[in-house]
Structure 1
Amino acid sequence: MTTISLRTAPLRGGLTLPYAEAGYGGTPVVFVHALADSWWSFEPLLRRLPVSLHGYAPTQRGHGDADRPAEGYGPEDFAADLVDFLDTVGIDRAILVGSSSGGVPARIVAGSHPDRIAGLVLLGTPAALADKPAMAGLREAVDGLSDPVPRAFVEDLMSGMVAGQVAPGLIETMLEQSLKVPAHVWKETLHGLLEADLPATLAGILVPTLVIWGDQDGFLPRSDQQTILDAIHGARLITYEGVGHVVHWEQPERVIADLVEFAARTAPAGSAGAAGTP
């Protein structure tokens, strides 16, 4: 198992984001978590990183133990933080791995800063959200939240995330991380995702892109992933049979293997840019 170090990144705008780092000297890989998650979402991957990869997993604003500004929770805000994070920790060029809604700021950065991004990996990421039937009910439930966010709400939401077995204690850890998120962050982040033109954020992405999707994903149909493939020239899909929405919780070893193969083709060790710790 790879050792995980916990650090903090003070961004230019004054926010401080905690992040986990694992590995040394390999291709920089930056993991971007979804709404209500934190760096802990990628702990199963960070623990398994080979020497060829150098992993970074920041916790986004408003989440986990990161700073919680009163506003600024749209996809573009998270994308700007991601670029600032690359600058702060000294990453010239990296592979971005976005999980679920975390793939939205990741692909915004991939499209707007292709000089900084060697490749893009999308794990169960939606092409769009406003068109999904379940989103109306979720928005209504989130709009009704107040602090402290009820545990029952988070448990119900998370119940549909996986289709198979996950590591003992992981679901409980992620429940605890989700309960750290204030109600206003839930609301503003979800509103930002639903009100943004998400299909437009797929335009202009020229970096190599890998799409990984579980065929038991109860949130995203196969057609949604096809939209991503149609929009990003050369994008490749790998389908995990019998796996649910959060593929890296259920199949971390396989995700790592696919990530290693992707990195070897797109950014061999040392070619994705230097990284330093402030």
Structure 2
Amino acid sequence: MGSYRRDGFRQEPCHLVTPAWRAYSGSMESEVRTVALRTGISVPCFVRGHLEQTVDDGGTPLVMLHAWGESWRSFERLIAALPDVVVVAPDLRGHGLAEKPPGGYSLVEVAEDVVALFDALGLVRAHVLGSSSGGYVAQQLAVARPDLVASLILVGAPLSLHGKPAFAAEVDSLTDPISEEWVRVSLSWYRLLHTVPASYIEDRVQDGLAMPASVWKESLRGFYEAVPPTEAGSISAPTLILWGAYDHLVPRNHEETLTRRIQGSRLKIYEETGHLVLWECPERVAGDVVGFLG
């Protein structure tokens, strides 16, 4: 299989195979459900394990929230490395195969979609893992509905996205259909220090192409216009923060500030990793998740 390497996003020849979700289901059954939310949209959601039994037994699933421009499938390698964990991983509004309405992309509204997902699935409490901007959504959820969040795992998650980023003008200029070349160039914004399978990158390209220009624009605007969650309120859930030392998008002092703001949280630094911690080190993240959740 081909791969992307330290020297950038240079693609080697590869044969693309769409991963079969049952391949990483472990000993538990898994499926992709279409879930109708009370917020007015339907989203696909990967579910592994018997949620009803888990809730009845007092167990706590792990809900995974993906990054901007991705889908639940960006967690496939992490899910494979957590074979004994009950997992819930939705496509967020406008992403992947989720419905793509013209509005509803503010941080508060996207977090409310997650609350609605809890309600639809009968979840009363869960561990929540958020990757990159998905970690921003996870923080908002923990502030707005602390009763739902048993613990928080933030992977390359920002302290703040407030203020228009430098690349916003480029995103604002997008038109449909989204150019595959643009999606590939946008992925090169993220430096990789470890080998990542080319097929995984190709799946992220498809994630990007699945989003219309309006969703790229509105979802980004929803992040940079939002009040940072830890400024709007406080987070009381036990929290693990994982961050790559070569992350050029989320600076170290921001993660240190985030750690101070979330009382009792712990920051773990991956010294040879960039912003895309989950892309580069899914097995290591899995080990830290298991250790944190006990």
TM-score by length of 1: 0.89
Aligned to 2:202: 172
Task: State the identity %.
Answer: 40
Separation of aligned partners in 2, 1:226 and 1:202 = 18
Secondary structure of 2:101 counterpart: coil
Separation of aligned partners in 2, 1:12 and 1:193 = 22
Secondary structure of 2:146 counterpart: coil
1:248 offset after TM fit, Å? 1.2
Superposed, 1:1-278 pairs within 5 Å as 2-3=24-25, 4-24=30-50, 25=54, 27-51=60-84, 53-130=85-162, 136-161=165-190, 162-198=192-228, 200-201=230-231, 203-264=233-294
Separation of aligned partners in 1, 2:193 and 2:106 = 29
Q: Which AA in structure 1 matches 2:215?
A: V
5+ long unaligned stretches in structure 1: 265-278
- 1:27 and 1:199, CA in 2 relative to 1: closer, same or farther beyond 3 A? closer
What is the aligned residue count?
Answer: 260
- 1:214 and 1:23, CA in 2 relative to 1: closer, same or farther beyond 3 A? farther
Separation of aligned partners in 2, 1:179 and 1:230 = 38
Secondary structure of 1:137 counterpart: coil
Q: Which AA in structure 2 matches 1:20?
A: F
Moved over 2 A (4+): 22-27, 160-163, 199-203
Separation of aligned partners in 2, 1:8 and 1:188 = 23
CA contact (8 A) 1:22 1:49 kept: no
Secondary structure of 1:34 counterpart: coil
1:183 offset after TM fit, Å? 0.6
Q: Which AA in structure 2 matches 1:222?
A: R
Q: Which AA in structure 1 matches 2:181?
A: A
Aligned to 1:271: none
CA contact (8 A) 1:167 1:249 kept: no
* Stretch moving more, 245-254 or 150-159: 150-159
Q: Which AA in structure 1 matches 2:177?
A: P
5+ long unaligned stretches in structure 2: 1-22
Q: Which AA in structure 2 matches 1:150?
A: S
CA contact (8 A) 2:139 2:230 kept: no
Q: Which AA in structure 2 matches 1:157?
A: S
- 1:100 and 1:202, CA in 2 relative to 1: closer, same or farther beyond 3 A? farther
Separation of aligned partners in 1, 2:62 and 2:252 = 26
Secondary structure of 2:221 counterpart: helix
Secondary structure of 2:166 counterpart: helix
Separation of aligned partners in 2, 1:160 and 1:144 = 17
Q: Which AA in structure 2 matches 1:214?
A: G
1:130 offset after TM fit, Å? 3.8
CA contact (8 A) 1:62 1:69 kept: yes
Offset from partner CA, 1:9-50 (integer Å, 9 cap, x none) = 111133111011224556300000111111011111112223
User: Which one scores higher on RCO, CA 8 angstroms, separation ≥ 6?
Assistant: 1
Separation of aligned partners in 2, 1:17 and 1:195 = 24
